[in-house]
Amino acid sequence: MDLSYKEEALSAFLEKFGDTEGVRCYFAPGRVNLIGEHTDYNGGHVFPCALTIGTYAAVRKRKDRRIRFYSVNLSKSGVIERSLDAFQPLQDDSWTAYPMGVMWAFEKRGFQIPVGLDIVVNGNIPNGSGLSSSASLEVLTGYVLKEEFGFPVSLVEIAKIGQDAENNYCGMNCGIMDQFASAMGKKDNAIFLDCATLDYEYAPVVLDGMKLVVTNTNKKHKLVGSAYNDRRRECEEAREILADACGIKTLGDLSNEEFEKYKDAIKDPVVRKRAKHAVYENNRAIRAVAELKAGHIEEFGRLMNASHVSLRDDFEVSCEELDILAEEAWKVPGVLGSRMTGGGFGGCTVSIVKDEAIPDFKQKVGDAYKKRVGYDCTFYVVSIGDGPEEV
C-alpha cells in the first residue's frame, strides 16, 4: 500500500469540499489472475490474488441525499454530482456508474442509504490495464457503505453486490472473480475459487527467489460493448448443447476427456473452440493449484504458458501486443511462465520471473516490444496483498 495516494485524496478533498473534518479513508485492492481465465462465468475455477496497488477513497457523510464525486485520476471530469433518488441503470457513461451501481444494488437488497456522501477517489491501478480498477472501485464503495452506515454485509456479499452492479447497472456481463479477489484478498496467498459454488480456499504463493511481474501493453482494453459479451453468449450456447448431450449444468463440470467425447454435438466450430477453452482452462487451473501446493513451481509456469496459447487460439481474446509480450517472455532464461491476464483485447501479461533475471527480462521484452509495436510497455513488480480496509 502506498499512503501517498491517501494523502493526495485528502488534499483534493480539502481543495474541492472545503475542509477534511470528519473524513475517513479507505482502500480496496486491484487483482491479477494467475490462471483460470474466462472460466468464472462458466462455472469453473479461478486463481486470482489481490495486489498492493488499488483504489483509495476519502469519504464524508452529508446531511442531504446528494453524492458528490471527484477522481484525482480523472481530474478533467471535475466534481460530478448524483442523487440517491435518481439512479440511472445502464445510462451513466461516466466512471461514477461503478460506485452508483453499488449504491443501487445495496438499496435493491433493502439497505436504505440514509444520507449522501462526498467522495474523492485516487488509485494506482493503471486505467484500462485489466487489473480490475472497476472491481476495486466497486468493492471500495461497498466497504465504505458497510463501514459508514453499519450495514451487516460480509465481504463475500460485497463481492456479489459489486458483480450485480457491474452486470445490471454498468451493462458489463462479468463473472464474480474480480470482485471476489478484491474483497477477499489475503497477503501472500492466492484464492482458489470455485465460481459455481463460491467455495474457496487460500493457497500460499511462495515465490522463493522469484517475483510476479505484470507487464502492461499500454493498449487500453474496454470490455463493455466489446467481444467479451459475445464470448459469454458463445459459451452459453455450448453449455445448452452439452447439457442436452450429457446432462451437465456448467462447462466447468466437464473433464477434458468428457469434452472430447461429446464435443461433436456442437456443430459450430467457433462455439466448439470457445467451449474447449473453458473446459481445458478450468482443468488447467485445478491442476496448477495442485502443482503449486506440491512445490512444483516450474510446472505451474508451464501451465500458465499453455493457458495463454488457449486464450490466443481457442478463445481468441488475446491480441498482437499481448502475444508479443508472452512470446518474448518465454525466450528469456529465468522466466518460469507468462500469460495474458484479465479479459483480454489489451491490458497486461503476468509472469513468474527469477529475481536475478528481472533486469534481463525487462530489457529484452521491453526492447522487442518497442521494436515491434512502436511504443513502450510498462513493468510492475507486484506483491500479493490483503482485501479492503480503512486506512
Catalytic residue annotation: 178
Is 391 within 8 Å of 7 (Cβ atoms)?
no
Place of cell 512444483: 296
Q: Rounded CA gap, 169 and 187, in Å?
A: 31
Let me know if 88 is exposed, middle or buried by CB neighbors in 10 A (0-12, 13-18, 19+): middle
Phi, then psi, of 316 in degrees rounded to 5: 55, 50
**Under a CB-based contact definition with an 8 Å cutoff, are residues 46 and 307 in contact?**
no
**CA-CA distance, 151 to 229, in Å (whole number)?**
33
Measured in whole angstroms, the distance separating CA 384 from the mean position of its chain's CA atoms is 14
Hey, is 142 helix, strand or coil?
Answer: helix
User: What single-letter DSSP state applies at residue 126?
Assistant: P
Q: Which three cell numbers stand for residue 266?
A: 456442437
Give the amino acid at 225.
Answer: G
- Give DSSP secondary structure letters for 96-141: THHHHHHHHHHHHTT----S-EEEEEEE-SPTTSSS-HHHHHHHHH
